[in-house]
Amino acid sequence: MARSTAHIWMLLLPSLYLQVFSIPENSSCNPLFTTFPPGSVSHDSRTALFIPTAGVSSSGYKIPSSGGGVELFLRKPNSEIRTKDGVNNNIADGATLNGTYLTLYGRFTIEISGPRVPGVVTAVVLMAPEGDEIDIEILGGDPDHWQVYNLQPLGALILLTCSCKSNVFVPHASDKEPLYGVFGGIHPYDSAGDQPSTPDSVDAIHTYVIDWTAERIVWIVGDKTVRTLFRRDTVRNGQLHFPSHAARLQLGIWDASSPSGTAEWARGPIDWKIAPAQMTAHVKSVRIECLGMHAFG
């Protein structure tokens, strides 16, 4: 058994090696910098940089007239919310914005904050039509510190220490099931290195970077690299699972109060007895640079 497995690997490795060092045939990247002027988020695809996803009403987000970004809202459902077995029966609507164009490789810099409420997730997602996905998920409730919170008489600790999560999903036809969590990582904000005065908390604006080349993905918070995932390290079941299709940038806030696995992961469900009826993720700016595209050229 072991011998034949080794044999398969010897056959596979040369082709993987070639794939790792080949230059993508079609890499495309449109540079962009926006602080969300009026019209940048709309249903008018001629002017919009981002289109609200289906079901997001015009009151689901707001571009303040003073400028400086876009606010995405998550609102308490109107109907009664019951919590049972670690899930809520009603899930709040949160706004998600869908980028209007596809980018293959590039450096994505997003200044964003999210509410520090357990069960709420603020997400920066690169999503390809083929299913490749690169994520930053900013959790309003942090597992490790939640335990600290439970031990403390004061509930304030969780507000100071939250975590963000990075992830990659690249479905492959040969996978029997999605490889959830296989490429995930959880990272503390501690000494994230933004401005010295920036609190280590999800509800302060932090600079999150996904630097994606054909060779690797680097996740950065502030000026600190929190994770690097190399293409060569994404082989599972003999197949590469490295994102290699042009993807759309999506920004959103969502209620992770169901199903139970999701709620548990996000330290939900949301406790609406103490959570504000409206919560806000604030996207201050988005920058897309085409650096590193031809790292192999």
Ligand X SMILES: *[C@@H]1O[C@H](CO)[C@@H](O)[C@H](O)[C@H]1NC(C)=O
Determine, following the binding rule CB under 6 A, whether residue 197 of this chain makes contact with ligand X: no
Q: Which of 4, 26, 66, 197 binds ligand X (CB under 6 A)?
A: 26
Determine, following the binding rule CB under 6 A, whether residue 53 of this chain makes contact with ligand X: yes
Q: Give the residue among 91, 98, 167, 158 at the shortest CA–CA distance from 132.
A: 167
Residue 95 or 139: which CB sits closer to ligand X? Answer: 95
Chain center to CA of 198: 21
Residue 123 or 220: which CB sits closer to ligand X? Answer: 123
Q: Which of 19, 28, 239, 285 binds ligand X (CB under 6 A)?
A: 28
Q: Which residues 6+ apart lie within 8 Å of 256 measured at CB? A: 119, 120, 121, 262, 263, 265, 266, 268, 269
Determine, following the binding rule CB under 6 A, whether residue 164 of this chain makes contact with ligand X: no
Residue 229 or 246: which CB sits closer to ligand X? Answer: 246
Q: What is the largest CA-CA distance in the chain?
A: 67
Determine, following the binding rule CB under 6 A, whether residue 102 of this chain makes contact with ligand X: yes
Number of residues that bind ligand X (CB under 6 A): 8
| CA dist list (Å): 211 to 46, 66, 175, 221, 251 | 28, 30, 26, 11, 16
Residue 104 or 164: which CB sits closer to ligand X? Answer: 104
Determine, following the binding rule CB under 6 A, whether residue 43 of this chain makes contact with ligand X: no
Q: How far is the CB of 25 from ligand X (least distance, A)?
A: 8
Q: Are 166 and 135 contacting, i.e. CB atoms less than 8 angstroms apart?
A: yes
- Whether omega for the bond prior to residue 276 falls within 30 degrees of 0, making it cis, is no
Chain center to CA of 168: 9
- Contacts with ligand X by CB under 6 A lie at 26, 28, 53-54, 98, 102, 246, 248
